Chains A and B, each alone.
Chain A
Amino acid sequence: MHFGEFVRRRHAAGALVVQPRMGFADPALMRAGLVATRGAAATTVGTITLDSFTRLGDPASATRALREGTELNGYPILSHALSATRRVLAGVHDGEFPVQVRHGSARPQDITRATVAAGLHATEGGPVSYCLPYGRTPLTEAVRNWRECCELLLGAAGEPHLETFGGCMMGQLCPPSQLVAISVLEAMFFQRHGIRSVSVSYAQQTHPAQDREAVAALRRLCAELLLGTDWHVVIYAYMGRFPRTADGARNLLARAAELAVSTGAQRLIVKTVAEAERIPTIAENVAALEHAAAAADRAFGTLAAGTLAGGIGAAEPDGGQVYREARALVDAVLDCAPDIGNALVRAFARGLLDIPYCLHPANAGRARGRLDADGRLGWADIGALPLAGVVGEIRGRTVSSSSFLSSLSYVRDTYDTAALTTGTLPALSAGHLVQTAERGDEHD
């Protein structure tokens, strides 16, 4: 079973598929991580997350780190021999346990070659979402590179699956409609370049009801625009500053699982209790997978069947506010050029897409997001976005370093405060001691 089919079947059988963001430099540890993911009490798929030297086209620095024993933030697929990567996967990766490579590179050709050579067909990315938040590569070049990446995937044996990272875009302070629009547009880019199995993403933001509305909008746009393609929705547990308390982190993850279940999303990528601080251990990843799976099971059980498929906006005849904004953005981009890649480049040049606080030179940098008093993510400035008349009230405000940091910390603070006031704080010191001992083992 290939990746897309696996996720579809497991979800149809009543499970939310959960997946870690896991990557270790050492092949033995990477393999142990996949084995543990497969063995978790959850319906899982595996992940190999690559380190950022490899992402940036500098495998020499990753190789040096391996030689000197310096830790890396992921698996350096170009520094290990192909045979080593095949051994990582042997007997773990199969039809019952698909594995995806996640990398964040705007120059993904070598990584894609290594991925397919190792026998993997599922990966993640996109010309915009793996470019603007990930460095300095010009957008026009990223579009060319991602066309080539699609060709490389299609040229290999097996059914390729591509997930767009468009539903994340910087992780925070980007109003949901633009996340939805970029997710759909990148999936269309993959489709136009021959990929038949895709997933569209949405990262949990600051307001649960708004998130449900956003996923409903995403599904509606996909139904309208991704005809003839196998697609599913993947939710990312919050991608911004994470709570620092273990309970806060776990509760936020559980809310992400509920978001996925209540909107009919098929897959969830989890975050761990170590998110705010450091690269998580295997055990922390497994705990997060099992915690999310348990929360999803409860949500499947308690939510009335009628509310499972759609969020709030779905009931509104015009799709709701997030849908209206997302549709306006998608239409404006598609009008820029017949080729979607070129259309995306032109749209950014004209400010028709504009990611708040993104420093990339291709980004206009005029649009700004803001948090309402109730935690909804709205616009403080729409710049040249084609949303005049679609967005209601726009309230700008001046930003200082401390107000900026509190906006970025809204979710962290909310969940940490709740964890502290409910008094269900886990035994921190004991947990910490166990953790230290276990980390030592894993890295030896």
Chain B
Amino acid sequence: MSALRAASYPGRTVIVSGLASDAHTWNLVYLQLLIEELGHDVVNLGPCVPADLLVASCDRHRPALVVLSSVNGHGYQEGLELIRTLRGTGLRDLPVVIGGQLGTRGGLSGRHIDDLLDAGFDAVFDDHADSTVLFRRFVAELAEGAPRALR
């Protein structure tokens, strides 16, 4: 599956994006710097990105990976809806991950994380001391064409 993905999205470009209701941007700037250091070109779509803008940007840039970040507490609800939309528009094989502070009560429950994975995310990085390390590993493995499903 991973090799297939690498074949359909061969670029080095990674899209970083906020979700539609989320105005926070420090997280997006941080992720952009981090991913650039890992050797990728980053297209940073900024905050409050509607689904159609994200879809259009994927068509245009053919990214190797889409990194969604949400910290305002609406990430679970918006992330579920968005990944269903993306997977429904033909972007079935594109690697898409989400991370940040995804609920309003601190860390998401295992059930909520499973919901996100079941709906089509390749990995979920809810706020926690190791998320960035796990994310770096995920990106490195993606570059080698073999990402493992992570949470």
Interface residues of A (CB under 8 A from B): 51-53, 55-56, 58, 61, 65, 68, 70-73, 104, 133-136, 170-172, 277-279, 357-360, 399-401, 404-405, 408, 439
Contact = CB atoms under 8 A, between A and B. Distances in A.
6 contacts: A73-B104, A133-B23, A135-B48, A136-B47, A408-B30, A439-B105
A70 B77 contact: yes
Contacts of B28: 359
Contacts of B30: 401, 404-405, 408
A130 to B, nearest CB: 10
Contacts of B29: 357, 359, 404
Contact of B46 (A55, A56, A359, A401): A359
Interface stretch (B58-66, B68-76, B116-124): B68-76
B101 interface: yes
Contacts of A133: 23, 25
B33 A404 contact: yes
A357 B25 contact: yes
B142 interface: no
Interface centre among A171, A360, A401 (most CB of B within 10 A): A401
B143 interface: no
B99 interface: no
Interface centre among B21, B44, B74 (most CB of A within 10 A): B21
Interface in B2-18: none
Contacts of A360: 46
A401 B33 contact: yes
B34 interface: yes
Contacts of A52: 21-23, 72, 74
A71 B26 contact: no
A71 B108 CA distance: 12
A65 B78 CA distance: 10
B33 A56 contact: no
User: Interface of chain A, helix or strand or loop or mixed?
Assistant: loop
Interface residues of B, number: 28
Nearest to A130: B23
Contact of A135 (B47, B73, B106): B47
Contact of B74 (A72, A171, A172): A72
Interface of B: 20-23, 25-26, 28-30, 33-34, 37, 44, 46-48, 72-74, 76-78, 101, 103-106, 127
Interface centre among B30, B105, B127 (most CB of A within 10 A): B105
B114 to A, nearest CB: 16
Contacts of A358: 25
B34 A55 contact: no
Contacts of A401: 30, 33-34, 37
Given A278-B101, A404-B30, A359 B74 contact: no
Given A61-B77, A135-B48, A136-B47, 4 more contacts: A58-B21, A71-B73, A408-B26, A408-B30
A72 B37 contact: no
Nearest to B49: A136
B8 to A, nearest CB: 28
A399 B29 CA distance: 11
A278 B71 CA distance: 9
A357 B47 CA distance: 13
A399 B33 CA distance: 8
A104 to B, nearest CB: 7
Contacts of A135: 23, 47-48
Contacts of B47: 134-136, 359
A139 to B, nearest CB: 14
A134 B104 contact: no
Contacts of B44: 359
A56 B20 contact: yes
A127 to B, nearest CB: 16
B74 A73 contact: yes
A171 B25 CA distance: 11
Q: Which 9 A-B pairs have the closest CB atoms?
A: A135-B48, A401-B33, A401-B34, A73-B73, A71-B104, A278-B106, A52-B21, A279-B104, A359-B46
A232 to B, nearest CB: 27
A133 B72 CA distance: 13
